[in-house]
Structure 1
């Protein structure tokens, strides 16, 4: 299913709040992600935080198509910017435009516009650290959380802003198009250590990629494309265009993990995804994730999870 994304801008939009996540989603479209990205505003032309102007902006859509995603970018001077009639027009639109299946997200101070529209009432949310108290005042029934990259509560997502808009966009790509595509975009952006919304843990698909060594990345790409495959060290070395011994040294030096350890981490990540399908037995999950047996799967699983696969599945149910 194609996801329609609508970036909503107001005068003096903080350029990185818009350009960071917009470029992230554009790259996803470029390499095959099923998304259509629009940029709209209450006026066809507006000035940005950098002083340059954006023109040719689409009007705020009268009707959002099914399963749309609305992303409201933040501004540089909220007190002045959000007192403008253009910001009031966006708040009015946010009150009436979202459908039951519409997801709404904000970058940085965009959360204040969501709050004014009543979209944060009773929900967990966040914003830039300098605006936490303003958001609490604007949405007194909301549960405003500090020191969070982004927060998801039902159909509403709010981010801390600035560069965290990229983190949010990568998360949305992962949700809609899968972890592999999100990892490819993160690498292209040179954002290997993508931060999650809930805690500092890294996605296994992006963990151990905070380096710039091309040979190691080539081997990691090969493993990520097919983690269930029984890769030999020689095969991966061929993908990386180095010797097997040299690849072992490079992995330890640049990725901080062994080749086997890296592949096992991705297999466990794949197993977690497969466990969501309750029609699959644990034995079948082990097989599809690339483990030789359910016993081998459980042995490796214990290194990553305190709960058994069955217990994790039950907790998620």
Structure 2
């Protein structure tokens, strides 16, 4: 079942704050269902474009919804309009569902200021565009504001920095709700790569080392990710991606700074950790990930912890 996504659309909304996350989520296929709502049916955007046929603000949102609050071109005045005040009161009514994590709040850029004015960021780790950090602090003094962050997620409330960071946050949500393969496919379709906030854990090997545009390396990574447990030889991999083994080794060193073997081993370790987290024994997890024994798995873990 598709996740319903609601874009709260106000006059003066930043066009890319809507279209960036919307296009990103739309590329995830049927995983998300996008809806556009607001206090009035038609609004001008930051670029002069008009967005029309907006649905009225619903009384409630279904559980599991994503509620996106985009930023505006001038947050010093746009959040004081009658439409913004109406949206603020509507957000306040949704507070219990948001705090209960029945609804995921997603603030893009200065949209965090409207959320703060609605009482939704009390004691929450959050961020916004660097030029309006002071307005966010003023709107909610108890908020724990993280400067120089791309996006922050705390207790089901997501906030992001300026404009294009909304795309990064949308990819993060696709990763969390649909899995790394779908997020990676969307990122590649958009010809962008993953960035993480300073508060996020290090990206797993499924998503790391993809910030390049080399097709031979991408083909290699797709091949290994599809079957990380397989005992791939360098020559077979190179043949599958139509380059020489020597050239493939050079490409990995040049673009990723690691060898093909090391990249493959990191994928296997990630798979083994997943199995261990699911409660499997060490020996079984090791074999499922392609290691010859639990002893070989432990040695690999030690290598990457050093």
TM-score by length of 1: 0.88
Aligned residues: 302
**Aligned twin of 1:16:** 16
Q: How does 1:228-239 map to 2 (within 5 A)?
A: 228-239=229-240
Identify which range, 61-70 or 94-103, moves more after superposition.
Answer: 94-103
Instruction: Work out the CA distance in 1 between the residues paired with 2:115 and 2:277.
Output: 32
Instruction: Work out the CA distance in 2 between the residues paired with 1:39 and 1:288.
Output: 45
Structure 2's unaligned 5+ residue stretches are none
Instruction: Work out the CA distance in 2 between the residues paired with 1:118 and 1:51.
Output: 30
Instruction: Work out the CA distance in 1 between the residues paired with 2:79 and 2:224.
Output: 48
Secondary structure (helix, strand or coil) at the match of 2:163 reads: coil
Instruction: Work out the CA distance in 2 between the residues paired with 1:23 and 1:223.
Output: 28
Secondary structure (helix, strand or coil) at the match of 2:27 reads: helix
Residues 68/266 of structure 1: CA separation in 2 closer, same or farther (3 Å cut): same
Residue by residue, what CA displacement relative to the aligned partner does 1:238-292 show, whole Å, maximum 9, x if unpaired? 3312233332222222333211111122223333444432x22233332333322
**Aligned twin of 1:136:** 137
Deviation at 1:57, TM superposition (A): 2.2
Identify which range, 281-290 or 194-203, moves more after superposition.
Answer: 194-203
**Aligned twin of 2:36:** 39
Q: How does 1:273-292 map to 2 (within 5 A)?
A: 273-277=274-278, 279-292=279-292
Asked if 1:83 is matched to 2:80, the reply is yes
Instruction: Work out the CA distance in 2 between the residues paired with 1:41 and 1:225.
Output: 43
Residue by residue, what CA displacement relative to the aligned partner does 1:134-169 show, whole Å, maximum 9, x if unpaired? 111111122112121111111111111311111111
Deviation at 1:27, TM superposition (A): 0.7
Asked if 1:92 is matched to 2:93, the reply is no
Residue by residue, what CA displacement relative to the aligned partner does 1:43-83 show, whole Å, maximum 9, x if unpaired? 22111111111122222222211211111111110011111
Kept in 1, the 8 Å contact 2:151–2:196? The answer is: no
**Aligned twin of 2:67:** 70
**Aligned twin of 1:190:** 191
Instruction: Work out the CA distance in 2 between the residues paired with 1:285 and 1:8.
Output: 45
Deviation at 1:123, TM superposition (A): 1.4
Kept in 2, the 8 Å contact 1:192–1:207? The answer is: no
**Aligned twin of 2:255:** 254
**Aligned twin of 2:4:** 4
Deviation at 1:199, TM superposition (A): 5.1
Secondary structure (helix, strand or coil) at the match of 1:7 reads: strand
Instruction: Work out the CA distance in 1 between the residues paired with 2:197 and 2:289.
Output: 23
Deviation at 1:225, TM superposition (A): 2.2
Structure 1's unaligned 5+ residue stretches are 307-317
Instruction: Work out the CA distance in 1 between the residues paired with 2:48 and 2:202.
Output: 37
Residues 245/67 of structure 1: CA separation in 2 closer, same or farther (3 Å cut): same
Secondary structure (helix, strand or coil) at the match of 2:53 reads: coil
Instruction: Work out the CA distance in 1 between the residues paired with 2:104 and 2:33.
Output: 15
Instruction: Work out the CA distance in 2 between the residues paired with 1:40 and 1:251.
Output: 46
Residue by residue, what CA displacement relative to the aligned partner does 1:154-209 show, whole Å, maximum 9, x if unpaired? 11111113111111111111111111111121222222242245159444223222
Asked if 1:293 is matched to 2:290, the reply is no
Instruction: Work out the CA distance in 2 between the residues paired with 1:297 and 1:69.
Output: 39
CA RMSD, Structure 1 to Structure 2 (Å): 2.0
Residues 139/302 of structure 1: CA separation in 2 closer, same or farther (3 Å cut): same
**Aligned twin of 1:120:** 121
Kept in 2, the 8 Å contact 1:14–1:49? The answer is: yes
